[in-house]
Structure 1
Amino acid sequence: MKEKFMIGELAKLFNISTDTIRHYDKKGLLKPQCNKDNSYRYYDVRDFFKLSRILFFKSLDISLEDIKNYLHNKNTENLLVLLKKKEKEAHAKVQHWSALENKIKTKIQIIESAQKDLDIVRLKMMPARSGIFLRIKQKDDHYETKKMFSDNKQYIAMSSWLVDGQIYTSLEKEDLEKGIFNKFSYFIELPFAEDILKSDIITLPKGEYACISFLGPYREMHKHYEILIHWISNHGYKITGNSIEKNIVDYDFSDSEEEYISEIQIPVMKIK
């Protein structure tokens, strides 16, 4: 029996638990042999190499079911099929984690940039953005707001893939010019708007936006609208469209209103 491996010996060689080897036995991956004289279960050299292959496939995150299917029909063609399938899955995971990393980095940059530029009016060149505007008649009517979101839940789900993962508040151009800051609508930005056949899709054109970030509660929003509109008028610009309000840090990110960070964006054009 010196050429045989007891389960404990085999486990130590591969630095795994005996429970792991027993689990492979139950799954039909690695069946021990049995000594008829003493009923001891043991593994031979061939099982040693078989276990090494099982652990190799496990290191590639291949499922036990796929490993079992392959071991029951081993050949080069099936090996390539198994590896290429896992390569495709791994590539998808790499893309997912890369996108997640970029999303996190961008959110960090947005917060840190806003903190540096608080209460400073800046002109920003913004890319074209597509989405839908949801207008509500009564801003304090929670039933109407709930129904509106429910009716457009597919677009809200799509919007969550964006970096900010939120729905923007927006004031109409006419209200901005009249100094009315308590009537608003929601703008849901859609990342794949070109694939959606819906007449309500609106594209905010690429262009210059007068922007201001501020720290504090939403009830202070109107004061910063006034500052921004005053700046636009004094610097020879005119408002060309609806505003966008970005809640960079809101009540879902901080329990203190004093830590809320918001940015107002108003599209503008230089008056000739």
Structure 2
Amino acid sequence: MNEKWSIGEVAKLFDVSTDTLRYYEKADLLPVHKQHHNGYRYYSYEEIVLLMDILFFRNMEIPVKEIKQMITQMDIGDIKHILNRNQSVVESRIQELLKLKQSINQAANQYKLCEAWLGKYAFVAAPGFSYKLVSGQTEDLVDMLRKYRKEDWLADRVQYTLFVSQEALLRQPAFCSAQIGISVEAANLDVLTAAEQQELAAFPAGEYLYTVLGTNYEEPRHAGLEQTLRHLQATGRKAGGPLIGRYIASVHRDGLDYYEVWLPTDKT
């Protein structure tokens, strides 16, 4: 029976690098024998068994420092405590990854929505979310970002929303005169305090023109808004109130932010 294995043989057997084995040796975790006549490293059966335990615990992402304590100092109860603690850490990471997956799916869906509706129109019922105007000042946006927790903002539980008054829209179709605010779906109202919820307003019932538009906020006349107004006119309708735009995506290469847009309509 072969009772000696070279570092290369052990590395191949366990699919690890020789550098990893040398690291374990340097950390006083995995002893190694050296042949007197040539100085070559080799491992005996005992080190093979020990390495199996080391890799077993490393696969659980237990730090090398703790593994050393586990194999040299700890009893069954101590090891159980370490494993239970790591189980809690993993459970927490799973929840974080599930939340990340949800955020990625939502963001992907928003870009898909942007691609599907850019420059297209539909007449729909009033949006179901509630909103609150803030103002048109940049510093107010910063205050909003500070006020609503980052994780809620990124998950789009509280969404950045623009408003262009009917008067401004008809006088100069552009986003440069927009006011800023927030909008919140009914299912997400719990992120706001009771007082903040009282400040929200609902959209009046009626017919709204829905589309997606991109803007750099600087256009003196926005071609997409002008086209939207022409579409209303062609269908025998006119703007019947302020335009509501809810942020969904950005393309930094083009310097554009994209919004779902709702515009209340009246018959002409």
Normalised TM-score (structure 2): 0.69
1:226 paired residue number = 229
2:160 paired residue number = 167
In 2: Cα distance, 1:204 partner to 1:54 partner: 60
SS in 2 for 1:167: strand
2:219 paired residue number = none
Q: Is the 8 A contact 1:159 1:189 kept in 2?
A: no
Q: Is the 8 A contact 1:155 1:188 kept in 2?
A: no
1:263 paired to 2:255: no
1:245 paired to 2:245: yes
* Residue 48 of structure 1, CA deviation: 1.0
SS in 2 for 1:62: coil
* Residue 52 of structure 1, CA deviation: 0.7
1:106 paired residue number = 106
SS in 2 for 1:119: coil
Which amino acid counterpart does residue 75 of structure 1 have in structure 2? D
2:210 paired residue number = 212
Cα deviation code 1:150-205 (max 9, x no counterpart):
44441474554124997332235x75797675532222457976455596664354
Cα deviation code 1:24-49 (max 9, x no counterpart):
12223212245678766543322211
Work out which of the residue numbers 177, 182, 195 in structure 2 matches 1:183: 177
Cα deviation code 1:182-234 (max 9, x no counterpart):
53222245797645559666435488672421456562353256368769995
Counterparts in 2 of 1:190 and 1:54: CA distance versus 1, 3 Å: farther
* Residue 50 of structure 1, CA deviation: 1.2
Counterparts in 2 of 1:124 and 1:77: CA distance versus 1, 3 Å: farther
In 2: Cα distance, 1:59 partner to 1:38 partner: 34
Q: Is the 8 A contact 2:25 2:31 kept in 1?
A: yes
- Percentage of matched positions with identical amino acids: 19
Counterparts in 2 of 1:109 and 1:152: CA distance versus 1, 3 Å: closer
In 2: Cα distance, 1:244 partner to 1:93 partner: 38
In 1: Cα distance, 2:75 partner to 2:203 partner: 56
1:123 paired to 2:124: yes
**Which stretch of structure 1 is more off in the superposition, 109-118 or 9-18?**
109-118
* Residue 135 of structure 1, CA deviation: 0.7
Counterparts in 2 of 1:93 and 1:9: CA distance versus 1, 3 Å: same
In 2: Cα distance, 1:153 partner to 1:116 partner: 29
Unpaired stretches in structure 2, ≥5 consecutive residues = 217-221
In 2: Cα distance, 1:161 partner to 1:121 partner: 28
Unpaired stretches in structure 1, ≥5 consecutive residues = 137-143
**Which aligned pairs between 1:43-192 and structure 2 lie closer than 5 A?**
43-117=43-117, 118-123=119-124, 126-129=127-130, 133-136=133-136, 145=138, 147-155=139-147, 157-158=150-151, 160-163=153-156, 167-172=160-165, 175=167, 183-188=177-182
Q: Is the 8 A contact 2:4 2:44 kept in 1?
A: yes
In 2: Cα distance, 1:25 partner to 1:152 partner: 54
Which amino acid counterpart does residue 160 of structure 2 have in structure 1? I
Equivalenced residues, count: 254
Normalised TM-score (structure 1): 0.68
Instruction: Please report the RMSD computed on the Cα atoms of aligned residues, expressed in angstroms.
Output: 4.4
In 1: Cα distance, 2:204 partner to 2:66 partner: 53
